[in-house]
Chain A
Amino acid sequence: MLTALLDNVALQIMLVGALVGIASTLVGTFLVLRGTSMLSDAIGHSIVFGIVIVWLITHQQSGPVQILGAALAGVLTVFLTELLVSTRRVKKDAAIGLVFPVLFSIGVLLLNLYARDVHIDTHTVLLGEIGFVWLDTVTLGDYRVPRSLLSMGAMTLLNAAFVVLFFKELKLATFDEALARALGLAPGLLFYGLLLLTSGTAVAAFDAVGAVLFVAFVIVPPSTAYLLTDRLWLMFLYGIAVSIGSSVSGYALAVAWDVSIGGMMAVMTGVFLMLAFLAGPRYGVVAQLLRRRGQRRHNEIRTLAVHLFNHEGEPEQGEENVIRALRDHLRWDAAKAGRVVQRGSDQRLIVREGEALRLTSRGREMAREILDPSGRSAA
């Protein structure tokens, strides 16, 4: 089976794509939930700096030490950003946007200066070359395994281990940081651990998808999942499903249209997100519109019931509790007024007697329930 995989270039590419997605989703879910997803953008850009520095020092681009070294640049970005924010002169978003371009700029200038020594193409910095991952292999026993497959596999396992081991702690630190701190969980340390893994994933995924597309894999699958569920473990499941789906469909479309494979995979995450955004069962736009319309209709009837109830038995009843008042006082147009009265009568909440409108006992009960202060004060 392993031989079959290693002979099949398409399968290898899809597998690397899926692993990039899965590893990114594992860390990205917490970033999205914490409202710090743009840190992945900053990290993705500033590891360029880390990779160049590590190359200049070790003259090697891959390997665990190199990944760790470059990943530290990502952590440095976050640290510098938080340092800026702590001065209270700069807001968080501005601080992010100040720090990573500086590191990225230094990285690019170093590339300029040492271009002859560094085998990093500024082009792949941003785009990656997932289509060529099968060319760069390492020998493991009898097999020649693509380097990316190895590093992404390792990163995925590492991220999964981190999330599984610290699931409880991460969950608490994400949803109630103060409580986590009170319980002695060191949410700050946990967060930096998460960001170190994010940076490591970015470095490992760098050859395959580059700095910017990596951002798509971190943010989009978890966001898609967030639009579909409220359960944390389901978010992971949906995010992983989106990653695999995007990898497979992205590869197929890229081959069919002869375009960038990594790019197409990232575009597909966006397509899945759009689907969830529009058609998600609870939080999708269509579902929300339908629910809002239902609520609005219900509220219109309730508004009418409360209006009739308020003026019932008062001297102004003859003026207020008539159809005309819906136009003159509630400022509803004739069509809307007609619709609401019709639905109110259908639900046996009001009775229409010529021009006059009267509450049925059910309608009165409903209005009283809405206005009942004792019920509210007891709550």
Chain B
Amino acid sequence: MSTTLHEPDLALHVEDLTVSYHSKPVLWDIDFDVPPGVMAAIVGPNGAGKSTLIKSVLGLVPTVAGHVTLHGRPYKAQRRRVGYVPQRSSVDWDFPTTALDVVTMGLYGRLGWLRRPGRRERDEAMAALELVGMADFARRQISQLSGGQQQRVFLARALVQKADVYFLDEPMAGVDATTERAIVDILRRLRDEGKTVIVVHHDLQTVRSYFDWLLILNVRVIAQGPVAKVYTADHLRQAYGGQIALLDQGTFLSEEAAAEPAERVE
């Protein structure tokens, strides 16, 4: 994994972003860059603003200050190059629709007004379902799927978007081990194709084995950069405070690495 940039553009460039909910800031002056072709994790304690960061990048919550570019241009101009997997709990899974229908929804943006999804769109959606190992469940009503299967359907919906940058909000929360494996494999494949994958992640134990880029967030940026440099006891303690005691100290890097300041990509 090369961390130096050969291209002038960053996959994601967030500059001086401040976001507030009910006039109370939840993100303070965030500077955050992700080079293309990495798998990046956003970690931080509850209420750190991880989901809010993704949502403000996608224009789902208004910003107080700052700006965001994706591959050098603002989100509105790059919508077709972005795929999004919201939190599974954000929708009503009792909605009358099938897995295939949900995946086809990923193509609605490309279709534009008045055009209906046809055979071609259905084939694309089917292919995406196959990729996540859910082809057999295409006609299932979504309420009959397990949590892990629902999450895979959501992932398939993002896959049909054929994006360059993918944002995933806690895709591994509350899913079974098989699904977690499958999701990580697919995300790695995307990265190896040169796509950029940005994931809000809750499980510190798996950060180092899954990801190669890391942002530690707690209302402000604690540290960011390649996982090897950023994943240190010191940074995690800064972000999580006392909660970090729960973690096994053995999972951290040596003290020398911890003493080095994190590399910032400018």
A and B touch in the complex (CB under 8 A): yes
Q: Is B18 an interface residue (CB 8 A)?
A: yes
Closest chain-A Cβ to B116's Cβ sits at a distance in Å of: 29
Q: For B64, what are the chain A residues with a Cβ–Cβ distance below 8 Å?
A: 296, 299-300, 303
Provide the main secondary structure of the chain A interface: helix
Question: Does the CB pair B241–A378 fall under 8 Å?
Answer: yes
Closest chain-B Cβ to A282's Cβ sits at a distance in Å of: 15
- CA separation between A371 and B242, bound complex, in Å? 17
Identify the closest chain B residue to A331 (Cβ).
B67
Question: Does the CB pair B238–A302 fall under 8 Å?
Answer: no
Q: Is B170 an interface residue (CB 8 A)?
A: no
Identify the closest chain B residue to A330 (Cβ).
B65
Q: For B238, what are the chain A residues with a Cβ–Cβ distance below 8 Å?
A: 373
Q: Is A117 an interface residue (CB 8 A)?
A: no
Indicate the size class of the contact surface on chain A.
Answer: 20 to 34
On whether A373 and B218 interact (CB within 8 A), knowing A303-B28, A310-B31, the answer reads: yes
Closest chain-A Cβ to B124's Cβ sits at a distance in Å of: 34
Question: Does the CB pair B241–A299 fall under 8 Å?
Answer: no
Q: Is A123 an interface residue (CB 8 A)?
A: no
- CA separation between A295 and B22, bound complex, in Å? 10
Q: For A371, what are the chain B residues with a Cβ–Cβ distance below 8 Å?
A: 28, 220
Q: Mark A344-379, 1 if CB is under 8 A from B, else 0.
A: 000000000000000000000000001101001110
Q: Is B66 an interface residue (CB 8 A)?
A: yes
- CA separation between A373 and B25, bound complex, in Å? 15
Q: For B23, what are the chain A residues with a Cβ–Cβ distance below 8 Å?
A: 291-292, 295-296, 299
Closest chain-B Cβ to A319's Cβ sits at a distance in Å of: 10
Closest chain-A Cβ to B248's Cβ sits at a distance in Å of: 20
- CA separation between A300 and B241, bound complex, in Å? 28
Q: For A303, what are the chain B residues with a Cβ–Cβ distance below 8 Å?
A: 18, 25, 28-29, 64-65
Chain A residues numbered 303-348 whose CB sits less than 8 Å from any CB in chain B = 303, 306-307, 310, 316, 320, 325, 329-332
Q: For A378, what are the chain B residues with a Cβ–Cβ distance below 8 Å?
A: 241
Q: Is B15 an interface residue (CB 8 A)?
A: yes
Q: For B66, what are the chain A residues with a Cβ–Cβ distance below 8 Å?
A: 329-331
- CA separation between A144 and B16, bound complex, in Å? 78
Question: Does the CB pair A330–B28 fall under 8 Å?
Answer: no
On whether A377 and B20 interact (CB within 8 A), knowing A302-B25, A330-B66, A332-B65, the answer reads: no
Q: For B18, what are the chain A residues with a Cβ–Cβ distance below 8 Å?
A: 299, 303, 306, 330
Q: Is B266 an interface residue (CB 8 A)?
A: yes
From A296, A316, A370, B28 is in contact (CB under 8 Å) with A370
Q: For B65, what are the chain A residues with a Cβ–Cβ distance below 8 Å?
A: 300, 303, 307, 330-332
Q: For A316, what are the chain B residues with a Cβ–Cβ distance below 8 Å?
A: 266
Identify the closest chain B residue to A295 (Cβ).
B23
Provide the main secondary structure of the chain B interface: strand
On whether A376 and B67 interact (CB within 8 A), knowing A306-B28, A329-B15, the answer reads: no
Closest chain-A Cβ to B46's Cβ sits at a distance in Å of: 12
Question: Does the CB pair A310–B29 fall under 8 Å?
Answer: yes
Q: For B242, what are the chain A residues with a Cβ–Cβ distance below 8 Å?
A: 377
Q: Mark A284-302, 1 if CB is under 8 A from B, else 0.
A: 0000000110011001101
- CA separation between A306 and B266, bound complex, in Å? 18
Identify the closest chain B residue to A306 (Cβ).
B29
Closest chain-B Cβ to A278's Cβ sits at a distance in Å of: 20
Identify the closest chain B residue to A315 (Cβ).
B266
On whether A373 and B241 interact (CB within 8 A), knowing A296-B23, A299-B25, the answer reads: yes
Q: For B220, what are the chain A residues with a Cβ–Cβ distance below 8 Å?
A: 306, 310, 371
Q: For A291, what are the chain B residues with a Cβ–Cβ distance below 8 Å?
A: 23
Q: For A331, what are the chain B residues with a Cβ–Cβ distance below 8 Å?
A: 65-67
Chain A residues numbered 173-212 whose CB sits less than 8 Å from any CB in chain B = none
Identify the closest chain B residue to A320 (Cβ).
B16
Question: Does the CB pair A330–B241 fall under 8 Å?
Answer: no
Q: Mark B59-90, 1 if CB is under 8 A from A, else 0.
A: 00000111100000000000000000000000
Chain B residues numbered 88-114 whose CB sits less than 8 Å from any CB in chain A = none
Closest chain-A Cβ to B141's Cβ sits at a distance in Å of: 14
Q: For A332, what are the chain B residues with a Cβ–Cβ distance below 8 Å?
A: 65
Q: For A310, what are the chain B residues with a Cβ–Cβ distance below 8 Å?
A: 29, 31, 220
Question: Does the CB pair B16–A376 fall under 8 Å?
Answer: no
Q: For B16, what are the chain A residues with a Cβ–Cβ distance below 8 Å?
A: 307, 320, 325, 329-330
Closest chain-B Cβ to A9's Cβ sits at a distance in Å of: 51
Closest chain-B Cβ to A313's Cβ sits at a distance in Å of: 13
Closest chain-B Cβ to A284's Cβ sits at a distance in Å of: 16
Closest chain-A Cβ to B172's Cβ sits at a distance in Å of: 25
Question: Does the CB pair B241–A377 fall under 8 Å?
Answer: yes
Q: For A329, what are the chain B residues with a Cβ–Cβ distance below 8 Å?
A: 15-16, 66-67
Identify the closest chain B residue to A294 (Cβ).
B23
Closest chain-A Cβ to B52's Cβ sits at a distance in Å of: 15
- CA separation between A188 and B15, bound complex, in Å? 53
Closest chain-B Cβ to A339's Cβ sits at a distance in Å of: 13
- CA separation between A300 and B18, bound complex, in Å? 9
- CA separation between A378 and B222, bound complex, in Å? 17
Q: For B31, what are the chain A residues with a Cβ–Cβ distance below 8 Å?
A: 310
Q: For B266, what are the chain A residues with a Cβ–Cβ distance below 8 Å?
A: 316
Identify the closest chain B residue to A332 (Cβ).
B65
**What are 30 A-B pairs with beta-carbon distances under 8 A?**
A291-B23, A292-B23, A295-B23, A299-B25, A300-B64, A303-B18, A303-B64, A306-B18, A306-B28, A306-B220, A307-B29, A307-B65, A310-B29, A310-B31, A310-B220, A316-B266, A329-B15, A329-B16, A330-B18, A330-B65, A330-B67, A331-B67, A370-B28, A371-B28, A373-B238, A373-B241, A376-B218, A377-B241, A377-B242, A378-B241
Chain B interface residues toward A at CB < 8 A: 15-16, 18, 20, 23-25, 28-29, 31, 64-67, 218-220, 222, 238-242, 266
Contacts A306-B28, A320-B16, A329-B15 supplied; 6 other A-B pairs, CB < 8 Å: A299-B23, A307-B65, A330-B16, A331-B66, A373-B218, A376-B241
